[in-house]
Amino acid sequence: MQDLLPLAAEVGERLKARGEKVAIAESSSGGLLSAALLSVPGASAYFLGGAVVYTAKARVLLMDIPREGVAGMRSASEPYALLLARTARERFGATWGLSETGAAGPTGNPYGDAAGHTCIAITGPLEKAITLETRQEDRVQNMRAFTKRALELLRDALG
């Protein structure tokens, strides 16, 4: 996690300077994205909350997105990542919603995505979704890569 802290601090400072807030919905990063942002002193100025939405049950209980709300979507897809980011933003009343959903490894997911596949989305003053393929089976390495790319996406959106 040490390698993520400078980037999380930069994002935190930008959010604080702009007076903006973020809410997180993450899956295969397992809470690492929230932990990185919360490691910054003064995080309460910009971090409203987050959820590890690792299963369909968590999606319903933590995000209040029923099965009908994801009809026709794969869970490790850009449309699903956007849905998670939008929902986090709306539920917390945040300026930004940031989400991550994928397959950390060492194996892929039931939908045919290989380990190292994730989709990351941001919503707010701008909206964007990206797909990252690390092509690695190392679970921890992938979790770090997913978190780093999500933080970079938010940093870039903040200018």
Q: Which of 61, 62, 1, 49 lies closest to 21 in space, CA to CA?
A: 49
Instruction: Give me the residues paired with residue 147 across strands.
Output: none
Percent of the chain at pLDDT above 90?
Answer: 96
Give 93 or 1, the one with higher predicted confidence: 93
Report helix angle 139-158 to 5-18, nearest 10: 30
Helix, strand, coil percentages (3-state) for the chain, rounded to 5, are: 45, 20, 35
Q: How far is CA 102 from the centre of its chain?
A: 10
Of the ranges 42-46, 66-70, 123-127, 136-140, which one carries the lowest mean pLDDT score? 66-70
| Contact assessment for residue 150 and residue 100, using Cβ atoms and an 8 Å cutoff | yes
Give me the pLDDT at residue 2, please: 86
Residues 6+ apart with CB under 8 A from 87: 25, 63, 64, 65, 97
Cα separation of 121 and 99, whole Å?
5
Give me the pLDDT at residue 43, please: 98
Strands 47-52, 96-103: pairing is unpaired
Q: Which residues of 88-126 are buried (b: 16+ CB within 10 A; e: fewer)?
A: bbebbebbbbbbbbbbbbeebbeeebbbbbbbbbbbbee
Q: Report the mean per-residue pLDDT for the chain.
A: 97
Tell me how far CA of residue 104 lies from CA of 47, 72, 130, 134, in angstroms. Answer: 24, 23, 16, 10
Identity of residue 86: R
Q: In this model, does residue 111 exceed pLDDT 90? A: no
| Number of domains present in the structure of the chain | 1
Give me the pLDDT at residue 5, please: 96
Q: 0.95 cut: is pTM over it? A: yes
| pLDDT class of 73 with cuts at 50, 70, 90 | very high
CATH number at residue 137: 3.90.950.20
Q: In this model, does residue 1 exceed pLDDT 90? A: no
Mean pLDDT, range 69-83, rounded to an integer: 95
Range of the domain at 125: 2-158
